[in-house]
Homo-oligomer: A and B are copies of this chain.
Amino acid sequence: MNLVLLEHSDFIDTHRVCLKGRRLAHTLQVLRAASGDTLRVGLLDGKLGKGVIEQIDNTSMEMVVEFDADPPAKLPVRLILALPRPKVLNRLIAAAASMGIREIDLINAWRVEKAYWESPRLSEENLRLQSTLGLEQAGDTILPSIRLHRLFTPLVREELPAQLKGQVALLANPRANEDAPRKVTEPLVLAIGPEGGFIDREVETFRDIGFTEVRFGPRILRVETALAFLIGRLF
């Protein structure tokens, strides 16, 4: 936690917050902070700043906070991601949020196991928590928006085509003939398939609506590695 992310409901006065629960526990046990210490803070959807701990014990902490800096720019990226295994989901959402990805669409695909959609990790509460952990890691304040699409076709055939104007739309595919570009400056829509990849019919659908298949090397990487690798390469 390189930043304590604050929400409006944490404020007990204009410049004073009271925290309990996860952030308190982390401050005590990991940061080992004490009264008088200064922590980096950020206001959800707002600015970065500093908080001075005025009181802290096992039940709550109070900080006087002030804000003076903008959070780092988000990456203009919309990620279209075949729903990964639940085991991987938390790390992936946190990693995506930490890199500043703006929007995440978790979609179904032929090779996504149906059971993945029943995972409690897909709850709004958990997705928000994992995103928050990513922001706190990276020093950002703006949550990515995350949407779930239990059906492939309505999103890709009906919704996406109208939304791709002025955007670069890439489909990551280790078997593509074209290399992934570098230093993309336009907003980007990046589609990443499930383990084993999108099936041919799905790839064709993406191609039909304007996606370009790109490769980023001869190696097949795990989705969490591939995502960071691609973002590092593209921006």
Kindly report which residue of chain B lies nearest to residue A228, judged by CB atoms: B228
CB pair B137 A98 closer than 8 Å: no
Q: How far is the CB of A96 from chain B (nearest CB, A)?
A: 9
Known: A72-B217, A182-B182. A225 touches B228 (CB 8 A): yes
CB pair A221 B137 closer than 8 Å: yes
**What residues on B are CB-neighbors of A221 within 8 Å?**
95, 98-99, 137-138, 228
- Copies of this protein, total: 2
- A139 to B219: give the CA distance in the assembly, Å: 6
Kindly report which residue of chain B lies nearest to residue A30, judged by CB atoms: B195
Q: A232 an interface residue at 8 Å Cβ cutoff?
A: yes
CB pair A225 B72 closer than 8 Å: no
CB pair B95 A225 closer than 8 Å: yes
**What residues on B are CB-neighbors of A227 within 8 Å?**
228
Interface size on A, residues (CB 8 A): 31
Known: A98-B225, A229-B99, A232-B231. A218 touches B139 (CB 8 A): yes
Chain A 196-235 per-residue mask, 1 if CB under 8 angstroms from chain B, else 0: 0000000000000000000011111110111111111110
Kindly report which residue of chain B lies nearest to residue A71, judged by CB atoms: B218
Q: A2 an interface residue at 8 Å Cβ cutoff?
A: yes
CB pair B72 A219 closer than 8 Å: yes
Interface residues of A in 150-205 (CB under 8 A from B): 182-183
Q: A84 an interface residue at 8 Å Cβ cutoff?
A: no
CB pair B99 A219 closer than 8 Å: yes
A interface residues (Cβ-Cβ under 8 A, vs B): 2, 72, 94-95, 98-100, 137-140, 182-183, 216-222, 224-234
**Chain A to chain B contacts (Cβ below 8 Å), 23 pairs:** A72-B219, A94-B222, A95-B224, A95-B225, A98-B222, A98-B225, A99-B219, A99-B221, A99-B225, A137-B220, A137-B222, A138-B220, A139-B218, A139-B219, A139-B220, A140-B219, A221-B228, A225-B228, A226-B228, A229-B231, A229-B232, A230-B232, A232-B234
